[in-house]
Amino acid sequence: MDLLEDLESLQFEYGIQEEDCSWLYLQGRSRGLVIKACAHATFFCKLLCNLRESLREKHTSRCLLTGLLADTPADDDDELKVGIIGGGHLGKQLAHALLQLVPIPAENLRISTRRPEALDEFQKLGIQCFYHNPYLVNWANFIFLCCLPSQLPTICLEIQACLEKGCIVYSFAAAIPIARLKLLLNHTNILRPQYQCVEDFVNIWGANKEITAALQDPATLQATCPYSSAGGIILNIKWLEGVFYAILNICTAKDMPHLQVLQHLNELFLSVHFEDCEKDGASCPKFQLGDFVNQVYTKNLSQKRPFPWFDLTAVQLKETPFSQQLSTSTALQDHLTLLYCDSFGISLTKKQQPVVSRGSPSQ
């Protein structure tokens, strides 16, 4: 029990002038943004880990059937290797969330920051902390940019030559548009979540819990669902679209036939069902080739061909064949919400689903 928790003189609000109290809502908004940002990044990493695990299992099964397992070297790229650039508040909270909630092994997470000596708590866990951005990018296949917008041009200049085509860059620098990031990095495999804050909102984000603890609270976790508008912070659903196409790119990099990719997508995103789905399986959505590419491309794509490589920056800025499906299919939205909560260990019924924002803010 925290004996000081209710002590008024130690509260953030104590001593603030009455005329300044109207600005206190910014504290809740800031915390809500960090919670949502960490939740969505954690969910994406969970998806990638599950995908890689599924690919490994299927590869092992094929090798056992053909007797080639002993002659097949382990693919080091099958491991998710995450690098965080920036060791400030967001970088630290993200690292804790990835370690505890994905969970990512300490040896698969590294942090590059100007003050590595301030990350002693992570170094004790076995995480390498240093200040060498190009070295980090050479090692990782997933990079989080948790730096200030003013630092980003210099960092991009440092790392752009080290970025491999398949490396996913995930930027939290809201002030730098994704089109600008593409130019700075000379790279297209970029994700940048965009959040819209509404003026009047109920602060549900709390004040004292660690981010990892907050994300294990059912009410808070449901408020972070991609389609939820609870807490006054709305995620632009183009981010979720980018997540899908990023996974398609991972499969394309492995030269995987598109029919096999669709099977993986259905297993990855649509494997968790409501009770009534078992009674009426026809109501469950299933991904088809035409959901992701246009009709002309569909007609000319042979069964053994992989998907094309997608520019993720264009996916998040323009309409795609998948845009309407994500924004209008309530069945898909419900299943994705269920999967999201289930990935954090929270079970939902249809009646318990959080309030859904059917529209999405402009880019």
> Which residue, among 100, 148, 160, 89, has the nearest Cα to 125 in the 3D structure?
100
Give span(s): CATH 3.40.50.720, the chain: 24-65+76-237
For the stretch 305-353, pLDDT in tens is 999 999 999 999 999 999 988 988 999 999 999 999 999 998 876 555 5
What's the confidence (pLDDT) of residue 90?
94
Q: Which CB contacts under 8 angstroms, 24+ apart, belong to 23-28?
A: 25/201, 25/203, 27/207, 28/203, 28/205, 28/207
What's the confidence (pLDDT) of residue 207?
72
- Confidence band, pLDDT 50/70/90 cuts, at residue 363: very low
Residue 261 predicted with pLDDT over 90: yes
Tell me the torsion sign for CA atoms 228, 229, 231, 235. Answer: positive
Residue 237 predicted with pLDDT over 60: yes
- More reliable by pLDDT, 26 or 89: 89
Residue 230 predicted with pLDDT over 70: yes
What's the confidence (pLDDT) of residue 266?
94
- More reliable by pLDDT, 340 or 26: 340
- Confidence band, pLDDT 50/70/90 cuts, at residue 362: very low
Average pLDDT over residues 87-109: 95
Residue 154 predicted with pLDDT over 80: yes
Tokens of residue 246, six digits: 């990023």
Q: What angle do CA 252, 309, 235 make, to 5 degrees?
A: 100
Domain 24-65+76-237: homologous superfamily in CATH: NAD(P)-binding Rossmann-like Domain (3.40.50.720)
- Give DSSP secondary structure letters for 38-80: HHHHHHHHHHHHHHHHHHHHHHHHHHHHHT-GGGS---GGGS-
> Is the previous residue joined to 177 through a cis bond, with omega within 30 degrees of 0?
no
- Average pLDDT over the chain, rounded to whole? 85
- Confidence band, pLDDT 50/70/90 cuts, at residue 284: confident
- The predicted model scores a pTM of 0.87
